[in-house]
Every structure is written in C-alpha cells, then in structure tokens.
Structure 1
Amino acid sequence: MSIETPCIAVCMINPQTDLCYGCGRTMPEIARWPRMASSERLAIMAGLPQRMADAGMDVPKPRQKRPSRTDATS
C-alpha cells in the first residue's frame, strides 16, 4: 500500500520558515504523516505550493514517475 507524499527527497528544514525546502511540510506534519488519514494528507498537500510561495520559497516540481518495464515495452 502506498502513502500519498509530497516528498522529493530534499529533506532540510528552512530555519526562517520552519518548512521543508523540498516539500513545504513542517516537522510535526512530517512526523505524523504515516499516521494521518489519506484525506488529511491530501488536504495538506493541496496547500503546500501556496504555503511555500507565501513563505518566499521556491516551489519544486513534483517527482516524475519512472516508467515501468511494461510502459517501456508497449
């Protein structure tokens, strides 16, 4: 089972904003993430780009999904 995540593997907290440079989540959100309901994760994820923009942070592009072997052979 996969968990929705905005993580792009750039895991550093901006000391001025207390937001992750990579995803825009706070440390408490990151810590609680695996225990959150899907609806709560999706609601937080929906607001992350604006949260980061409001904090003057660059909003990273989402990770690209790697093509599966079946995608490559089709």
Structure 2
Amino acid sequence: MSERAGRPVASPCVSICALDEQDICTGCQRSVAEIARWSKMDDDERRAVLAMCHERAVAAGLVFS
C-alpha cells in the first residue's frame, strides 16, 4: 500500500475523456486497457502506468521534462 496513510494512488483522470487515434485518452494519457484495469491495479502498477502517461504526454508535447 502507499506510504501516504494507506491511501491508494489516485486516478489521473481530469474528466477530459476523448480517445486519440491510438486509443489513448487525451486527458490523462492512459490507454483504454489501463483505464479499464485501474481499479484492479496495485499501487506499484499504478505508478508504472503514471510514468508511462508522463512519457506519452512528453512525447506528444503536452508537458516538458
């Protein structure tokens, strides 16, 4: 479990739910499969998905690293 008082890693959903041509959400940068599995993931899996979301956002020019 998370170090933060047992609270799970929060969803990155920003309520901008639209898929691009690769079925990646333009709001949170998760794939359809990642969105569907999120509630079943443990915190380590969620952190890995968040890292991939960040990489996708950087690649798309949405954030700078």
Would you say same fold, with TM above 0.5? yes
Question: What is the aligned residue count?
Answer: 57
Q: Which has the higher contact order (CA 8 A, sep 6+)?
A: 1
Is the contact made by 1:11 and 1:21 (CA closer than 8 Å) also made in structure 2? yes
Is the contact made by 2:9 and 2:47 (CA closer than 8 Å) also made in structure 1? no
Q: Distance in 1 between matches of 2:26 and 2:53?
A: 11
* Letter of the structure 2 residue corresponding to residue 52 of structure 1: A
CA spacing shift, 1:57–1:25, aligned 2, 3 Å:
farther
TM-score normalized by the length of structure 2:
0.71
Is the contact made by 1:18 and 1:27 (CA closer than 8 Å) also made in structure 2? yes
- Runs of 5+ in structure 2 lacking a partner? 1-6
Partner of 1:58: 62
TM-score normalized by the length of structure 1:
0.64
Is the contact made by 1:12 and 1:20 (CA closer than 8 Å) also made in structure 2? yes
Structure index of larger Rg: 1
- Runs of 5+ in structure 1 lacking a partner? 60-74
Partner of 2:3: none
Q: Distance in 2 between matches of 1:31 and 1:53?
A: 23
CA RMSD of aligned residues (A): 1.8
Identity across aligned pairs (percent)?
Answer: 35
List structure 1 runs of 4+ shifted beyond 4 angstroms. none
Partner of 1:7: 13
CA spacing shift, 1:23–1:57, aligned 2, 3 Å:
farther
